[in-house]
Structure 1
Amino acid sequence: MLTSIMNTLQQLNINQPTAALSFQKGKIFFGTVKNIYPNDFALVQIGKQNLLAQLEAAITNGESYWFQVDSDEGDIQLKLLSKQDQGGSNISAILKHLALPPTKENTEITSFLSKEQLPFNKDTILKINNLLAHNNNTKQSLNVIRIMLTKGFPLTESVFKSLLAADNPERIQNKIQLLEHQLIKEEQTPAVQALQKSIFSLKESALKPLAIKLIQLLTEETHSNNEVRQPLAINILQKMGVKLEEPSFSQSNPNENQKQQLPVPQHLPEMKPIVLEENRKNQELFGQRTISPKLVDAAVDLLEKYMSKDMKQDFRLFTEQEKDFFKGILESIKQSFSGKESLYQFKEITKSLGIFYESQILQPLAEHNQVEESLKPSLIKFLQESNHSSPIRDTAEALVNKMNGQQIQSYDNGPMQHLHYEIPINLFGYHTNVKMQWSGKKTEDGKIDPNYCHVLFFLDLEHIHETVVEMKVQNRVITVNVYNESTAIKDKANELTSLLKGGLEKIHYQLSAVHFIKKDNNPLTANREKMNTLNKSYTGVDIRV
Structure 2
Amino acid sequence: MRVNDVINKQSVKLNDTQNKLRPGQIIQGNILKLYPNNKARIQLGTMKLTAQLEAALTIGKKYFFQVEKVDDVIHLKVLHEVAKKVGQETVKNILHQLNLPPTKANMQFVQLLLNERIPFTKEQLMNALDILKGQKSRSEVHFILKQMVANQLPMTEAVFQSLHIKAGSNFTDQLLGLLHQLEKAQHSSPLMNQLKEGIKQITDPITMDRAFINQIKQDAESSQTLLFRILKASGAINQQITFSTWKSSWEPFLNDQLSTERTYPHSFNTRFALEQINHLHKNRVVLIQEAKKILTQWGVTLKSKAHDNNMISEQQFSSLHQNIKNNIVPILTQYQQQHMLSITENKPSLYSNLLSLLQMYSNTETYKQIEHVQSVTSGQMDTNTVKDQFLALMKQVVHLTRTIPQTDTQAIDPPIKSILMQLLPHSDSLVHDRAHQLLHFINGLQIDSVQETNHFIQASLLLPGEKFSLNKDLQFEFESKKTPDGKIDPNFCRILFVLELNMIKDTIIDMSIQKRFVTVTIFNDYLTQEDVRLQSVLKKGMESLDYQMSNITVKPLHELNRPSKKTLDVTRAPDSYKGVDYRI
TM over 0.5: yes
Tell me the secondary structure at the aligned position of residue 179 of structure 2: helix
Tell me the secondary structure at the aligned position of residue 30 of structure 2: strand
Give the direction of change, closer, same or farther, for the CA distance of 1:446–1:128 in structure 2 (3 Å limit).
closer
Give the direction of change, closer, same or farther, for the CA distance of 1:396–1:347 in structure 2 (3 Å limit).
farther
How do 1:447-526 residues align onto structure 2 when only pairs under 5 Å count? 450-487=490-527, 490-494=529-533, 496-519=534-557, 522=559, 524=561
The CA deviation at 1:214 is: 9.9
The CA deviation at 1:482 is: 0.9
Q: What amino acid is aligned across from residue 365 of structure 1 in structure 2?
A: D
User: CA-to-partner distance for each residue in 1:232-255, whole Å, 9 max, x for gaps?
Assistant: xxxxxxxxxxxxxxxxxxxxx985
From 358, 375, 378, the counterpart of 2:419: 378
CA contact (8 A) 1:64 1:84 kept: yes
From 239, 251, 257, the counterpart of 1:277: 251
Q: In the alignment, which residue of structure 2 is the partner of 1:365?
A: 408
Q: What amino acid is aligned across from residue 171 of structure 1 in structure 2?
A: N
Within 1, Cα distance between the matches of 2:57 and 2:478? 43
User: CA-to-partner distance for each residue in 1:272-295, whole Å, 9 max, x for gaps?
Assistant: 99843158899xxxxxxxx74975
User: CA-to-partner distance for each residue in 1:115-141, whole Å, 9 max, x for gaps?
Assistant: 233343432221011222353332233
The CA deviation at 1:446 is: 6.8
Question: Which is worse superposed, 172-181 or 431-440?
Answer: 431-440
Give the direction of change, closer, same or farther, for the CA distance of 1:280–1:196 in structure 2 (3 Å limit).
closer
TM-score by length of 2: 0.63
CA contact (8 A) 1:454 1:471 kept: yes
Within 2, Cα distance between the matches of 1:355 and 1:375? 9
Within 2, Cα distance between the matches of 1:71 and 1:48? 20
CA contact (8 A) 2:205 2:466 kept: no
From 395, 402, 408, the counterpart of 2:434: 395
Percent identical pairs in the alignment equals: 25
Within 2, Cα distance between the matches of 1:343 and 1:212? 15
Within 2, Cα distance between the matches of 1:31 and 1:293? 70
1:67 aligns with 2:106: no
Within 2, Cα distance between the matches of 1:512 and 1:66? 43
Within 2, Cα distance between the matches of 1:458 and 1:90? 39
Structure 1 spans left out of the alignment, 5+ residues: 217-252, 265-270, 283-290, 300-328, 527-545
Q: What amino acid is aligned across from residue 439 of structure 2 in structure 1?
A: V
Within 1, Cα distance between the matches of 2:460 and 2:31? 36
From 52, 76, 100, the counterpart of 1:54: 52
Within 2, Cα distance between the matches of 1:35 and 1:469? 41
CA contact (8 A) 1:54 1:75 kept: no
CA contact (8 A) 2:232 2:238 kept: no
Tell me the secondary structure at the aligned position of residue 211 of structure 2: helix
The CA deviation at 1:204 is: 5.1
Tell me the secondary structure at the aligned position of residue 77 of structure 1: strand
Within 1, Cα distance between the matches of 2:524 and 2:508? 7
CA contact (8 A) 2:18 2:46 kept: no
Q: What amino acid is aligned across from residue 276 of structure 1 in structure 2?
A: W
The CA deviation at 1:357 is: 4.8
Within 1, Cα distance between the matches of 2:510 and 2:34? 42
1:438 aligns with 2:438: no
Within 1, Cα distance between the matches of 2:97 and 2:475? 44
User: CA-to-partner distance for each residue in 1:434-478, whole Å, 9 max, x for gaps?
Assistant: 110122456677765554431100111111111111112334432
How do 1:22-171 residues align onto structure 2 when only pairs under 5 Å count? 22-50=20-48, 52-84=50-82, 88-168=88-168, 170-171=169-170
Q: What amino acid is aligned across from residue 367 of structure 1 in structure 2?
A: Q
1:338 aligns with 2:382: yes
CA contact (8 A) 2:212 2:270 kept: no
Within 1, Cα distance between the matches of 2:454 and 2:473? 30
Give the direction of change, closer, same or farther, for the CA distance of 1:397–1:347 in structure 2 (3 Å limit).
farther
Count of aligned residue pairs for this structure pair: 437
Tell me the secondary structure at the aligned position of residue 146 of structure 2: helix
Give the direction of change, closer, same or farther, for the CA distance of 1:497–1:377 in structure 2 (3 Å limit).
same
CA contact (8 A) 1:209 1:341 kept: no
Give the direction of change, closer, same or farther, for the CA distance of 1:50–1:404 in structure 2 (3 Å limit).
farther
Within 2, Cα distance between the matches of 1:150 and 1:523? 22
Within 1, Cα distance between the matches of 2:4 and 2:486? 29
Within 2, Cα distance between the matches of 1:275 and 1:382? 32
Within 2, Cα distance between the matches of 1:404 and 1:472? 29
Q: In the alignment, which residue of structure 1 is the partner of 2:279?
A: none
Q: In the alignment, which residue of structure 2 is the partner of 1:316?
A: none
Structure 2 spans left out of the alignment, 5+ residues: 217-227, 240-244, 257-263, 273-372, 564-584
Within 1, Cα distance between the matches of 2:548 and 2:444? 34
Q: In the alignment, which residue of structure 2 is the partner of 1:178?
A: 177
CA contact (8 A) 1:279 1:292 kept: no
The CA deviation at 1:49 is: 4.0
Give the direction of change, closer, same or farther, for the CA distance of 1:70–1:462 in structure 2 (3 Å limit).
closer
Give the direction of change, closer, same or farther, for the CA distance of 1:46–1:21 in structure 2 (3 Å limit).
same
Question: Which is worse superposed, 108-117 or 436-445?
Answer: 436-445
Within 1, Cα distance between the matches of 2:202 and 2:432? 20
Question: Which is worse superposed, 122-131 or 54-63?
Answer: 54-63
How do 1:526-545 residues align onto structure 2 when only pairs under 5 Å count? none
Give the direction of change, closer, same or farther, for the CA distance of 1:193–1:20 in structure 2 (3 Å limit).
same
User: CA-to-partner distance for each residue in 1:63-106, whole Å, 9 max, x for gaps?
Assistant: 33343334333322333344446752343333333222222222
Give the direction of change, closer, same or farther, for the CA distance of 1:413–1:261 in structure 2 (3 Å limit).
farther
Give the direction of change, closer, same or farther, for the CA distance of 1:102–1:464 in structure 2 (3 Å limit).
same
CA contact (8 A) 1:198 1:352 kept: no
Tell me the secondary structure at the aligned position of residue 473 of structure 2: strand
Give the direction of change, closer, same or farther, for the CA distance of 1:492–1:119 in structure 2 (3 Å limit).
closer
